[in-house]
Amino acid sequence: MKIFNYVIVLIISFLSLISNYQKFSIGVDEVNIFNAIANSTYDFDVDYVKRISKLYPNLSSSAIPIKAVIGAHYITNDSIKKGIDLLNKANLDNPYIGYPDMILGRTYEILGIKDSFNYYTKRAYKKLPNNSASYLLLAKILVNEKKFDSLSYFFNDISDRLTDNNIWQIYLASMLSIEDKFKESKIDSMDVIFNARKAKQISDDKTVTLLADYLIYGKAEVNKSIIKYETALDTFISDQEYAIKLMSEAVNQIGDNYQFYETLIEMYFKAENYEMVIATYSELINKNMTTLNGNTLERILISYIYLDDIESGCNLAKLLNQYRYNLDDTVKFICELID
């Protein structure tokens, strides 16, 4: 009887092991597929495609039809007819998610079939308005049709729910393309400038920042400031005074550019002009621009210490220490941060 019980336990354990392995294998497959979706790369090998096509109809954690992923794979590998057929079948598996429509929209865009591109893009956005990829395709349609007021409307709608650099880039670039025709295009210029300033606050993407600056300050003014910034970097070693002068002018031209300000602080620090380091930091505080990188904050705190304002310097040192910034041992000693 004991032997029989052992056999039953062994069988149950074995079946459990198989079940857990299958769950693990499916989990690995899903991770691989989600990575492919995130990177828009569907170049699986043939055996892998055959295996995943038999496992499950949908990705369990997202409800994306597996036929849509396989369809995208075939389109990527030039089997377009087969891919489109699978994407249409995927819509039958889940007609609500919009992912197959988005892939179909992109496919018809590449094929140059305008009506189908418009149809599937609009359907994808309607089904899943939080999908940035669907918005980007919709934006292309609106730009081509010169419906910039509609593009602005949809941007304001999706940007309230979703932060995505690509969304900001296409909106800002579109607004820049008509910056002298806002009234004609039924665009509120104050709304555009508000969005451009907001873009600089929420994104550290260089392209987003540059486009926003072009809209706020004007392309010519921004380009002048960039030339001064680059020249200042190139000449700092040979002529510190001239480089700092140029850097100050760049800061005054574009008054909310963190990179310009941090570079100016670095130059003052290297020139041992600690008073101007603190003066520049005070200017940033007044502008509520205090999200500075660790290296800049360290230069500021050391400047405070050199100027005998130990309390202010050590307050910044303690802040950096909380974020595990690798402070200089001398600073740690002065501010009593050594264990």
CB 132 within 8 A of CB 164: yes
Is the pLDDT score of 22 beyond 50?
Answer: no
Average pLDDT over the chain, rounded to whole? 80
CB 85 within 8 A of CB 72: no
Is the pLDDT score of 81 beyond 60?
Answer: yes
Q: Could you tell me which residue, 190 or 68, shows the higher pLDDT?
A: 190
Is the pLDDT score of 148 beyond 90?
Answer: no
The interaxial angle of helices 114-127 and 99-111, nearest 10 deg, is 160
Q: Could you tell me which residue, 80 or 207, shows the higher pLDDT?
A: 207
- Model confidence over 149-184: pLDDT tens digits? 888 888 888 877 777 888 888 889 888 988 888 888
- Model confidence over 275-292: pLDDT tens digits? 999 999 999 999 999 889
Residue 58 DSSP one-character state = B
Domains of the chain: 1-128 (1.25.40.10), 146-217 (no CATH)
3-class secondary-structure state, position 205: coil
- pTM: predicted TM-score of the whole model, two decimal places: 0.69
| Predicted local confidence at residue 331, as pLDDT | 92
Which of these, 26, 170, 42, 43, lies nearest to 99 by C-alpha position?
42
User: In whole angstroms, how far apart are CA 196 and each of 18, 22, 132?
Assistant: 55, 49, 19
- Model confidence over 308-332: pLDDT tens digits? 999 999 999 999 999 999 998 899 9
The interaxial angle of helices 258-270 and 274-286, nearest 10 deg, is 160
pLDDT band at 4 (very low <50, low <70, confident <90, very high): very low
> At a CB cut-off of 8 Å and minimum separation 6, what does 218 contact?
none
Q: What b-and-e string marks burial along 144-164, b requiring 16 or more CB atoms within 10 Å of the CB?
A: eeebbeebbebbeebbeeeeb
